[in-house]
Amino acid sequence: MSGARPAYLVFSDVDETLITAKSMLDFLDHYFPHRYGRRGALKAARVRADLAGLLARGACRAEANRRFYRAWRGEPAAAVHALADRWFAARAAGPGFFVEPTLAALREHVRRGADVVLVSGSFPAVLTPLAEQVGARRVLCSTPRVHRGVYTGALLGAPMIGEAKRGAVRALLAEHPDVRAAHCYAYGDHVSDLPMLTEVGHPVQVGDDPVLRAHLTAAA
């Protein structure tokens, strides 16, 4: 972040909060067919089916997140980043990519002197162009391990899901002792965002998930 003191911090989930898509799967469908043609399209479909089956069997989102990144083993990081930039440019130029009220709210926070922070289970190649578009100062996310320029299929640390989001928010707040959590905002759409949302004074639900709404009402 910059050396200037932010007026307050704003933490925002990404998938179905800032953008209408699930960024990881959306980029999966872009990357592998563009890089490998029909063979890549079949791989993307297999990964999607594997993740759907895993979740249907009751796996948690963090486990599915780790499984997703195993599919990237052996992919050159430079190629991933280059195609992520192309993916974002194409998707952002089309209609309906952003959740417009959230985008407008984040830009207004930036105008008012806040530091916006994206907090997501997605990964830097996908999130960096999004952060630039929004004016976010920082990205807290799942981070694939790279060795000699190639994805290993493993993560550095835990997936940025659920309680990991709480820990990330607390750590960043600790870097800004002059910013009160009560003055900060957080945006999320799913109950897995609740640990992040309850760390700030102004949690904002995006969408109409009744489970998340019930929890936020109870916590108010």
Instruction: Name the residue with higher pLDDT: 5 or 181.
Output: 181
Residues 191-220 as b/e (b if ≥16 CB within 10 A, e otherwise) read bbbbbbbebbeebbbbeebeebeebbeeee
Dihedral angle of Cα 157, 162, 168, 174, to the nearest 10 degrees? -140
Query: pLDDT tens digits, residue range 49-69?
Result: 999 999 999 999 999 999 999
209 backbone φψ class: left, alpha, beta (φ>0; ψ -120 to 50): beta
Q: What is the pLDDT of residue 83?
A: 98
| Cα(140)–Cα(116) distance, integer angstroms | 11
Max distance between CA atoms of the chain, in angstroms, equals 54
Which tokens sit at 218?
């109870």
Query: pLDDT tens digits, residue range 19-41?
Result: 999 999 999 999 999 999 999 99
Indicate the DSSP class of residue 76.
B
Is residue 31 a contact partner of residue 87, using CB atoms and an 8 Å limit? yes
| Cα(211)–Cα(205) distance, integer angstroms | 11
| Cα(8)–Cα(51) distance, integer angstroms | 37
pLDDT interval class at 1 (50, 70, 90): very low
Query: pLDDT tens digits, residue range 184-205?
Result: 999 999 999 999 999 999 999 9
Q: How would DSSP label each residue in 132-184?
A: HHHT-SEEEE--EEEETTEEEEEESSS-SSTHHHHHHHHHHHHT-TTS-GGG-
| Cα(126)–Cα(87) distance, integer angstroms | 8
